[in-house]
């Protein structure tokens, strides 16, 4: 198709105009936030405080930064798969297919293993940020922004997924897009957990819609609110022993280099529906500088641990595998994608959280090396973690469209 004739050119222009003006009246929906309410005078305009591009194209093996990675003694990282740009969430199918969600590139990948070699393929494309994936009874649940699909028996039809069952109306999730790419997972109670983030950096949200973690029956019925006042969690998991829900949460931006810090939180038994503070109270009790009210932290559940300023803790998984040393039983691995709204870059690593019965947690480094502190540059962005059946740990790298596998072998003379 070439626009050489005036007629076809006019047609093309008409189509562009039509595409640009088909904004339904319903676009002014409920829950629309007012302007971002952060005070511009308090954080200057600065090109050192901006978000970084994610390449949509493939990073070849020789350019993957796996050689830079540093781990505790006995641990080793290798490239597990590559060639799937925008690599984020990972869920494992019953028959060994790794499904991978993404954001801007709009793809869901299926990664199979043949003769020990990974074979990634684009399973779905053209979706709006399909970050939320869950697998149950042979079905893949795909949560994009504003769309929910279920693909039954997906592992039997990877070459042709066919028509999904659409569950969008059943889940009735908000149609705002900011902080509404999804993280979803089935809890130990068999319910499907999903979050609705704050649709702004900092603003008065509609607490009946935004800033929640919810749980549903798998068909989208029976919605219950499990946590409130949660700004932007895109990772949660359940403690293997206590079955309590733990979640990461990203703190607000444009309030300075030092935070308020990101959080690791726990929903204690009997505390379902508790308030975690957004937008009035951040981190371990910091009142918001822009949105004020008396006693902003009254009744707010404070975090189990602070996970660093702008560090972007995303994926979290508790470890119950047999490969790593016993000291790693029931610890949580957290992938920190790394800061953007901070002059000196921070995060870009995987940390270990050792949770305590009293609801606190201590943190320690685990996988580092992507961040070059001297040059203030990063080589990769860990987004999600997934323990495999053999006890090794997968880490996805969104920047390079790759997955690394971390294994452990006891150093000589030392028993596991």
Binders of another protein among residues 125 to 164 (CB under 8 A) are 125-129, 144-145, 147, 149, 158-164
SS3 148: strand
SS3 133: strand
Nearest distance, CB of residue 205 and another protein, angstroms: 11
Cα atoms found within 13 Å of the Cα of residue 402, Cβ hemisphere only = 21
To the nearest 10°, the Cα dihedral for 345, 346, 348, 349? 150
Q: Token pair for residue 21?
A: 């003006």
Q: Does 270 bind another protein (CB under 8 A)?
A: no
Site track 206-245 with another protein (rule: CB under 8 A), x = hit: ----------------------------------------
The answer to whether 355 and 246 have CB atoms below 8 angstroms apart is yes
Q: Give the residue, chosen from 78, 94, 119, 390, that forms a contact with another protein under the rule CB under 8 A.
A: 119
Residues 202 and 265: their CA atoms lie apart, in Å, by 19
- Say how far apart CA 102 and CA 55 lie, in whole Å: 12
Among the listed residues 64, 82, 213, 264, the single contact to another protein using CB under 8 A = 82
Residue window 12-51: x/- pattern of binding to another protein, with contact defined by CB under 8 A: xx-xxxxxxxxx---xx---xxxxx---x--x-xxx-xxx
Tokens of 307: 């996970």
Please tell me whether residue 106 binds another protein under the rule CB under 8 A.
yes
Inter-residue contact 319 to 333 (CB < 8 Å) = yes
301 token code pair: 């559940």
> Footprint of another protein on residues 190-209 (CB under 8 A)?
199-201
The least distance separating another protein from the CB of residue 2, rounded to whole angstroms, comes to 5
The nearer residue to another protein, 18 or 73, going by C-beta atoms, is: 18
> Cβ closer to another protein: 58 or 92?
58
Provide the minimum distance between the beta carbon of 84 and another protein in the complex, in angstroms, as a whole number. Answer: 6
Q: Nearer Cβ to another protein, position 211 or 387?
A: 211
User: Given candidates 74, 175, 360, 407, which one binds another protein under the rule CB under 8 A?
Assistant: 175
Contact 9, 3 (CB under 8 A): yes
Q: What CA–CA distance (Å, rounded) separates 320 from 391? A: 8
Identify which of residues 28 and 358 has a Cβ nearer to another protein in the complex: 28
- If the CB atoms of residues 18 and 357 are measured against another protein, the closer one turns out to be 18
């Amino acid at each position: 198709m070439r626009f050489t004739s005036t007629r076809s050119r006019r047609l093309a222009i008409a189509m562009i105009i039509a595409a640009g003006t088909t904004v339904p009246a319903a676009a002014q929906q409920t829950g629309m936030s007012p302007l971002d309410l952060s005070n511009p005078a308090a954080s200057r305009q600065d090109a050192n405080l901006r978000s970084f591009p994610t390449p949509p194209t493939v990073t070849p093996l020789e350019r993957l930064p796996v050689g830079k990675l540093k781990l505790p003694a006995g641990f080793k990282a290798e490239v597990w798969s590559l060639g799937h740009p925008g690599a984020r969430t990972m869920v494992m199918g019953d028959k060994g297919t790794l499904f991978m969600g993404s954001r801007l590139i709009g793809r869901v990948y299926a990664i199979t293993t043949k003769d020990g070699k990974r074979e990634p393929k684009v399973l779905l494309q053209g979706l709006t940020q399909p970050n939320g994936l869950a697998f149950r009874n042979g079905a893949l649940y795909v949560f994009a922004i504003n769309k929910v699909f279920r693909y039954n028996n997906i592992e039997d039809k990877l070459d042709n997924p066919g028509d999904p069952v659409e569950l969008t109306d059943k889940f009735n999730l908000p149609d705002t897009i900011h902080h509404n790419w999804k993280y979803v997972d089935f809890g130990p109670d068999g319910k499907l957990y999903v979050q609705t983030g704050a649709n702004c950096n900092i603003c008065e949200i509609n607490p009946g819609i935004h800033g929640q973690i919810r749980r549903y029956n798998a068909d989208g019925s029976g919605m219950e609110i499990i946590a409130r006042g949660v700004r932007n969690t895109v990772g949660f998991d359940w403690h293997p022993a206590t079955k309590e829900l733990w979640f990461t949460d990203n703190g607000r931006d444009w309030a300075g280099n030092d935070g308020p810090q990101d959080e690791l939180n726990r929903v204690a038994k009997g505390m379902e529906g508790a308030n975690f503070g957004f937008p009035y109270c951040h981190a371990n009790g910091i009142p918001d500088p822009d949105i004020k009210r008396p006693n902003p932290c009254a009744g707010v559940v404070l975090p189990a641990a602070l996970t660093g300023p702008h560090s972007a803790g995303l994926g979290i998984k508790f470890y119950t595998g047999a490969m790593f040393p016993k000291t790693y039983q029931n610890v949580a691995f957290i992938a920190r994608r790394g800061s953007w709204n901070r002059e000196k870059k921070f995060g870009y690593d995987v940390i270990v959280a050792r949770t305590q019965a009293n609801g606190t947690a201590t943190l320690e480094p685990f996988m580092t090396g992507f961040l070059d502190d001297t040059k203030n540059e990063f080589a990769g962005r860990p987004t999600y973690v997934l323990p495999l059946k053999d006890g090794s740990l997968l880490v996805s790298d969104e920047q390079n469209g790759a997955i690394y596998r971390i294994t452990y072998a006891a150093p000589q003379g030392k028993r596991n």
